[in-house]
A and B are shown apart, each in its own frame.
Chain A
């Protein structure tokens, strides 16, 4: 009987000590918010286009970090972004739902612009300049090609143009051999943690 009491008491005391230590550790290592959100946010292309169904890149990052959204909703990021997110989250990569379109730029046909400032308000990255009753124009270097300015324009004077290809930005394609293709297909395995 006594030995049973000893057993219970020692086990209980030990558990209590362990509990106190862990409670202190919890205080010391307390974390504010989810640090994954910022890391996910840096992977996203920051077009703020809303094609993922969330109002911007940060909200999508929050949704992915909490496990609410899948990793494959970022359309402009394409396969590479999806693989990176899957890698970071430690989940299996998924197929993309939509193929990413070629990078575009918005262009305001200035002779038709009536200076209503609606597109300026819609631009998520402040890439359109102008003032009421003045022509507006898009700063090409800052435009993310999100197309959010198209819809509010009352006179439809905004076009999406193909981004010009620069010789400085040209890069070599993958060698055109069968082994190159086979090897390239293996890149998905890298992301998974099977």
Chain B
């Protein structure tokens, strides 16, 4: 159906609102029936100093310090940042750079904690059981202190969204239990096993932002989770305006802006946040973490990770302490030889492919996948010419024109690509997924975005340098002018005195008149 007809039908209420485009990949939810297992403590935990979007943290501890579980070990150095906490009790053994789950293969400064096995919890944060009568700003500070960041994978600092702003009152809280990426089941299991805690967390969210209504969004391939949430909801008397909505499965429905449009019919404008249209969207995992932070006073030190993939013998959902080595997780599930397997951090559509498994679990680790080469086949097939079939434009959930953007990025026409809204691309991978010519479209967009960011950074540096250079030239010019002015003044004061000196040779000061004039001037 043409987009304009569909939009009109949606406006008139003849059709359910739904985001455009999207794809239906095979879901491969191998670990959907595996309950959450606790993963053992690892001997050494590696905590990178940045596990969120924003500014890097700086360590608060030194080598040799004893730390407790939940103790703050790194403090944030800016607004867009959250602190890092020790995942277990033990000793800080070293602070140095360690590889992280990043496509560059580069590392970040990290704190290494050797666990002592006691797992003693830091009790300094008191539980706030009476949160309903607490000040929202106090709860917000708690969310920041506990290091909460979006656990759906984007790791945006949570406290920033939890704000009451008179200009943008929040009407609806959306709980995101969509989990549209193939393979991943961590949110699914969390909703099945911790429905009450999630709902309590949602009540805290609604109290914090002053919202009256809420929606819990779940895709229809997780009926059991939806039933569990509905049961828990029925058991509560204080959440009448909250509804569980079951949506037809489609990727990328879990993307914040797409989900909000599907649920409310309101579109988040480019460059704006959901709060600007009166919506707060939180992942179920984050909501559970908020519950723990407020009601139990526990910092974010663990998360549920789906360990899966077609090359993994025993897929599972694990409750893992942050900083645990990914290699040990794979070994626990029966994979020790990594030759011929590809490791993916995150989901298969948006995750990063990594060269080795020696990196720690961080706040953004939704899933860890081990894929066989056959499964990753499309990544190795040859890129063919674009045949302009238009599948990518149809699949794009933001209605961009991926094939044109890729052409522009490829030939370095970044400004033009930006004018075709390259920066609105959410890199969901739907276009690359449907492309019959195997064009790595998202890879081109990432290249284009990176190059444009580089150009803008260089331009800013060049502008700053030009200002400094011009200021320097102006200063030299001014100093020269001052010197010249001083010289002429000296000459003027000097000249009559020499005349006098000729007339009156007894005066000794005349010889030194120049110096005298200078000192007199400097007194002025």
A residues near B (Cβ < 8 Å) are: 41-42, 44-48, 56-57, 80, 124-127, 142, 144, 165, 167, 169-175, 177-180, 183-184, 186-187, 190
Q: How far is the CA of A60 from the CA of B446 in the complex (A)?
A: 34
A165 x B411 contact (CB < 8 A): no
A163 to B381, CA, bound (A): 36
> With A177-B382, A183-B407 in contact, is A169–B463 under 8 Å at CB?
no
User: Is residue B107 within 8 Å, beta carbon to beta carbon, of the partner chain?
Assistant: yes
Q: A125-B465, A175-B447, A177-B382 are in contact. Are A190 and B453 (CB under 8 A)?
A: no
Task: List residues 442-465 of chain B with CB under 8 A from any CB of chain A.
Answer: 443-444, 446-447, 449-451, 453-455, 457-459, 461-465
| 18 sampled A-B residue pairs with Cβ under 8 A | A45-B465, A46-B463, A46-B466, A47-B465, A48-B469, A142-B465, A144-B465, A167-B104, A167-B108, A171-B447, A172-B103, A172-B449, A180-B444, A183-B407, A183-B411, A184-B412, A186-B411, A187-B412
- Asked if B458 and A45 sit within 8 Å, CB to CB, the answer is yes
Interface pair A174/B465, CB less than 8 Å apart: no
- Asked if residues B447 and A165 are in contact (CB atoms below 8 Å), the reply is no
Q: A46-B463, A180-B444 known; 15 other A-B pairs, CB under 8 Å? A: A42-B463, A46-B466, A124-B472, A125-B469, A127-B468, A142-B465, A167-B107, A171-B451, A171-B454, A172-B449, A172-B450, A175-B383, A179-B385, A179-B439, A187-B413
Q: B443 touching A172 by the CB < 8 A rule?
A: yes
Min CB distance A175 to B, Å, is 4
B231 interface residue, CB < 8 Å from A? no
The yes or no answer to B332 lying at the interface (CB within 8 A) is no
A124 to B470, CA, bound (A): 9
Chain B residues closer than 8 Å to A126, beta-carbon distance: 468, 471-472
Asked if B102 is an interface residue, CB under 8 A from chain A, the answer is: yes
A177 in contact with B465 (CB, 8 Å) = no
Cβ-defined partner of B411 (8 Å) among A46, A169, A173, A187: A187
B521 to chain A, nearest CB (A): 22
Tell me which of A57, A170, A183 contacts B106 (CB under 8 A): A170
Least CB distance, B413 to chain A, in whole angstroms: 6
In the complex, what residues of A have CB within 8 A of residue B461's CB?
46, 144
Q: Which residues of B contact A175 (CB under 8 A)?
A: 383, 440, 443-444, 447
Question: Across chains A and B, which 9 residue pairs bring their CB atoms closest together, nearest first?
Answer: A171-B450, A183-B410, A172-B446, A46-B465, A46-B462, A187-B412, A177-B383, A125-B468, A170-B104
Could you tell me the distance between the alpha carbons of A174 and B412 in the complex, rounded to whole angstroms?
10
Q: Tell me whether chain A's interface is mostly helix, strand or loop, or mixed.
A: loop
Contacts of A45 in B (CB 8 A): 458, 462, 465
Q: Is the CB of B464 within 8 A of A142?
A: yes
CB of A31 to closest CB in B, whole Å: 22
Cα A101 to Cα B295 with chains together (Å): 57
Q: Is the CB of A184 within 8 A of B410?
A: yes
- Cα A167 to Cα B450 in complex, Å, equals 12
Using a CB-CB cutoff of 8 Å, which residues 233-269 of chain B contact chain A?
A: none
Interface core residue of B383, B385, B410, B464 (most chain A CB under 10 Å): B410
Q: Give the residue of A124, A173, A179, A186 whose beta carbon is less than 8 angstroms from that of B469.
A: A124
Which residue of chain A lies nearest to B385 when distances are taken between CB atoms in the complex? Answer: A179
Q: Quick one: CB contact mask for B292-309 with A, threshold 8 Å, 1 for yes?
A: 000000000000000000
The chain B residue sitting closest to A45, CB to CB, is B462
A3 to B305, CA, bound (A): 99
Flag if A169 contacts B457 (CB, 8 Å): yes
Residues of A within 8 A of B413 (CB): 187, 190
CB distance from B104 to the nearest CB of A (A): 4
Give the residue among B382, B443, B453, B471 with the most A Cβ atoms within 10 A. B443
A180 to chain B: closest residue by CB:
B410
Specify which chain A residues have a CB less than 8 angstroms from the CB of B412 in the assembled complex. 80, 184, 187, 190
Across the interface, name the chain A residue whose C-beta is closest to B446.
A172
Q: List B contacts of A41 (CB < 8 A).
A: 466
Inside 8 A of A42's CB, which chain B residues have their CB? 459, 462-463
Q: Would B104 and A184 count as touching, CB distance under 8 A?
A: no
B398: shortest Cβ distance to chain A, in Å?
20
- Per-residue interface assignment for chain B, residues 410 to 421, with 1 indicating a CB less than 8 Å from any chain A CB and 0 otherwise: 111100000000
B447 CB contacts on chain A under 8 angstroms = 171-175
With known contacts A171-B447, A171-B450, A172-B450, A46–B383 Cβ distance under 8 A? no
Whether A169 lies near B454 (C-beta < 8 A) is: yes
Cα–Cα, bound, A46→B467 (Å): 9
Chain B nearest CB: distance from A190 CB in Å?
A: 6
Quick check: A179 and B462 within 8 Å, CB to CB? no
Q: For A121, give the chain B residue with the smallest CB separation.
A: B476
Q: How far is the CA of A60 from the CA of B178 in the complex (A)?
A: 57
Q: Which residues of B contact A48 (CB under 8 A)?
A: 465, 469
Q: Which residues of A contact B384 (CB under 8 A)?
A: 179
Neighbouring B residues of A80 by C-beta, 8 Å: 412, 455
**Residues of B close to A187: CB separation below 8 A:** 411-413
Contacts of B455 in A (CB 8 A): 80
Binary CB contact string for chain B from 455 to 497 against chain A (1 if under 8 A, 0 otherwise)? 1011101111110110110000000000000000000000000
Determine if A142 and B383 form an interchain contact, defined as CB atoms under 8 angstroms apart. Answer: no
Q: Contact between A180 and B457 (Cβ–Cβ < 8 Å)?
A: no
Chain B 328-360 interface mask (CB, 8 Å, partner A; 1/0): 000000000000000000000000000000000
How would residues 384 to 398 of chain B score, 1 for a CB under 8 Å from any chain A CB and 0 otherwise? 110000000000000
Residue of A nearest to B106 (CB): A167
Residues of B within 8 A of A47 (CB): 465
Please give, as numbers and ranges, the residues of chain B lying within 8 Å of A57 by CB-CB distance: 466, 469
Cα distance A174–B383 when bound, in Å? 13
| Cβ < 8 Å to A, chain B residues 188-209 | none
Closest to B381 in A: A177
- Report B327 CB to chain A, min CB distance, Å: 21
Inter-chain CA distance A171–B450, complex, in Å, is 5
Q: Using Cβ atoms and an 8 Å threshold, which residues of chain B touch A171?
A: 446-447, 449-451, 453-454
Separation of A46 and B472 alpha carbons in the complex (Å) = 13
Instruction: Give the complex CA separation of A126 and B476 in angstroms.
Output: 12
A47 to B383, CA, bound (A): 40
Per the bound structure, the CA–CA distance linking A44 and B412 in Å amounts to 18
